[in-house]
Structure 1
């Protein structure tokens, strides 16, 4: 058991076990990478401690990954359904905050625990980090750990049951979304041309107005056996 006192070894073991458990499907439902937090809760209960820098780095990578995944379609979705998404998001946040305040006021739980319950129920890891930085209270993590499993399971059940309740065709909706997204971003075609027209000699790409006339972007020029990348000013 001494190996588990080594934080980096413990981190590796927690992630591996979490991935294994997350890939187990029961009735077609799996926890996926969310299983890692359940494993982490178990190890944390038995005294395994991870350096704070790992938590900070993990949060940075988490936010970075979400941004990279959502970035390509973020502005397009916001432009098409921005108002509806903002209203729905506001309703979710306000209702969750109101319920948390009622629970804090009438049950007598401590405020840091209530904040942790809020971030955990919403599965908001960035919210957890912000709350910890603002209060520096370990009780927030406890509240988060209590609520997070229920938040994850609730989301999984909702995602699985909602299409059945509404009788929505998820596959058709995915195909329609892909079609709409694809229409705004046509396929990139790569072509190689040999230019023999002497009329373009000693003229820059900018002077030829190739991009404005054809929409094409010249990425490489091969001349006298040397391949060069056009300078920004030339295009």
Structure 2
């Protein structure tokens, strides 16, 4: 545990240094610093106790790794940024929370590319493919559901209807296979589920080709 703490201290030093170096805007753009922090976070990952992921030290390490991923910004070099996300998935793919961060980051990249016009449409498809591969490896089905819906929205923004169709179908499959125990449901769980279903219904309205699946959603609500 002492070694792990030293790694965290080293990460904190570089985190603070990077904020000062880049005007405290919270982003890392220097490839040398990114590579150094990537190696440090890998060491941090190696020190995790996967049998006790709820432990405070493990949770702190997971947050640090996720924060590092969120801080990285390659600017207009979006392909390089996506490559970085692929490397992170390979290095930290055993942690659900980090995989969620990677999906969010990929969707952000896709949205960013769409603002630059259709010339980046092939890159957006690469981002969607990254999400389609990553999401199924996340264990919690409700989290999968929300990530599928988020990615489907990005696909619709890009006019990639066939991609959005597949993502929505995957989201419905998550909803269909989700197991809920009445005794363990909390008000927060119910609110999250209902919010996800409302978003799903909104997407179904926008994709008429999947209108027949609306009947399943209505049946689920009943």
Question: Is the radius of gyration larger for structure 1 or structure 2?
Answer: 1
Could you say whether these structures have the same fold, taking a TM-score greater than 0.5 normalized by the shorter chain as the test?
no
Q: Considering fraction of residues, name the structure with more helix.
A: 2
State the TM-score bracket (shorter-chain normalisation).
under 0.3
